[in-house]
Amino acid sequence: MLAVKVLTHADRRDTMLRVAAGVGATAGAALAAVLVFRLPVWTVFAAMAGLGAYRGLYNPPLESIFADSIVTGQRCMTSVAVQPTVIL
């Protein structure tokens, strides 16, 4: 996740979120294919690794966008807990 944070600061955040969306869509389609076609168990692990990569890719840019949009000192645990719900 450290490498993604470095990329987030080096590249545009919306670009990183688009890349993460592509990785997540691919991993989701792979997991659906595993379930529909009853593929071997190692493909389930590969699809789940893809979903983990998706989470690692979208979280740092999303947190930095959220942190930049909140006035310093105004961020509380309530707003942090609501963030994933609003985005989904």
The backbone region for 73, taken as left when phi is positive above 0, alpha when psi lies in -120 to 50, beta otherwise, is left
Cα 46 from Cα 48, distance rounded (Å): 5
**Helices 41-69, 13-37: inter-axial angle, 10-degree rounding:** 150
pLDDT for 8 equals 60
- SS3 assignment, position 10: helix
Total-model pTM: 0.72
Residues of the chain scoring pLDDT < 70: 1-10, 72-88
Question: Which pLDDT belongs to residue 10?
Answer: 66
Among residues 72, 68, 76, the alpha carbon closest in space to that of 9 is found at: 68
Which phi and psi (to 5°) does residue 40 adopt? -60, 160
DSSP 62: H
User: What value, to the nearest 5°, has the Cα angle with vertex 56 and ends 52 and 59?
Assistant: 130
Provide the pLDDT for residue 70: 73
